[in-house]
Amino acid sequence: MADKPPKRERPVFTDKEALLYHSRGRPGKIAVVPTKPMATQRDLSLAYSPGVAAPVLAIAENASLAYDYTVKGNMVAVITNGTAILGLGNLGALAAKPVMEGKATLFKRFADIDSIDLEIDTQEVEAFIAAVRYLGPSFGGINLEDIKAPECFIIEERLRELMDIPVFHDDQHGTAIISSAGLLNALHLTGRDIKNTRLVCNGAGAAGIACLDLAKAIGFAPQNVTLCDTKGVVYRGRSEGMNQWKSAHAVDTDARTLAEALDGADIFFGLSVKGALTPEMLKTMAPDPIIFAMANPDPEITPEEALAARPDAIVATGRSDYPNQINNVLGFPYIFRGALDVRAKTINMEMKIAAAKALAELAREDVPDEVANAYQGARPRFGRDYLIPAPFDPRLISIVSPAVAKAAMDSGVARHPIVDMNAYRAELSARRDPIAGLMHTIYDRVRRDPKRVVFAEGEEEQVIRAALSFVTQGLGRAILVGREDRVAQTARNAGLELGDHIEVHNAKLSSRNGVYAQFLFERLQRKGFLFRDCQRLINTDRNHFAAAMVAQGDADAMVTGVTRNFSNALEDVRHVVDQKPGHRLIGASLVLAHGRIVVVADTAITEMPEAADLADIAIEAAGVARRIGLEPRVAMLAFSTFGYPPGERTARMHESVRVLDSRRVDFEYEGEMAADVALSRQAMAAYPFSRLSDTANVLVMPAFHSASISTKMLQELGGATVLGPLIVGLDKPIQIVQLGATDADIVNMAALAAFGVGG
List active site positions.
Answer: 48, 103
Query: Which amino acid is present at 285?
Result: M
Would you say 442 and 751 are in contact if contact means Cβ atoms under 8 Å apart? yes
The 3-state DSSP class for residue 250 equals coil
How far apart (Å, rounded) are the C-alpha atoms in residues 601 and 313?
A: 57
Would you say 621 and 697 are in contact if contact means Cβ atoms under 8 Å apart? no
Residues 6+ apart with CB under 8 A from 337: 111, 112, 113, 397, 401, 404, 428
User: Length of the chain, please?
Assistant: 759
H, E, C per residue of 105-163: HHHHHHHCCEEEEEECCCCCHHHHHHHHHCCHHHCCEEEECCCCCCHHHHHHHHHHHHC
Give the CA distances from residue 234 to residues 200, 215, 466, in Å, rounded to whole numbers and listed in that order.
11, 17, 52
Please calculate the CA angle 616-618-621 and round it to the nearest 5 degrees.
110
**Burial tier of 519 (Cβ tally within 10 Å: 0-12, 13-18, 19+):** middle
How far apart (Å, rounded) are the C-alpha atoms in residues 103 and 355?
A: 19
The 3-state DSSP class for residue 362 equals helix
Give the CA distances from residue 749 to residues 395, 498, 561, in Å, rounded to whole numbers and listed in that order.
19, 21, 10
**Burial tier of 486 (Cβ tally within 10 Å: 0-12, 13-18, 19+):** middle
The 3-state DSSP class for residue 598 equals strand
Residues 6+ apart with CB under 8 A from 490: 459, 460, 461, 464
Give the CA distances from residue 431 to residues 107, 112, 283, 595, 752, in Å, rounded to whole numbers and listed in that order.
12, 7, 47, 10, 21
Residues 6+ apart with CB under 8 A from 31: none
H/E run at residue 282: helix 279-283
Chain mean position to CA 208: 30
* Strands 721-728 and 586-593, bridge-based pairing: antiparallel
- Cα dihedral value 516, 518, 519, 524, nearest 10: 120
**Burial tier of 581 (Cβ tally within 10 Å: 0-12, 13-18, 19+):** exposed
Would you say 377 and 310 are in contact if contact means Cβ atoms under 8 Å apart? no
Would you say 614 and 636 are in contact if contact means Cβ atoms under 8 Å apart? yes
Q: Nearest 5°: phi and psi at 362? A: -65, -35
How far apart (Å, rounded) are the C-alpha atoms in residues 665 and 622?
A: 10
Please calculate the CA angle 147-152-155 and round it to the nearest 5 degrees.
120
How far apart (Å, rounded) are the C-alpha atoms in residues 411 and 417?
A: 11
Q: In what order do the strands lie in the sheet with 141-144?
A: 114-119, 75-80, 141-144, 167-169
DSSP H helices, 330-433, are 332-341, 349-363, 369-374, 396-410, 421-432
The 3-state DSSP class for residue 717 equals helix
Nearest to 576 by CA among 564, 558, 561: 558
Give the CA distances from residue 534 to residues 30, 237, 485, 529, in Å, rounded to whole numbers and listed in that order.
61, 87, 25, 7
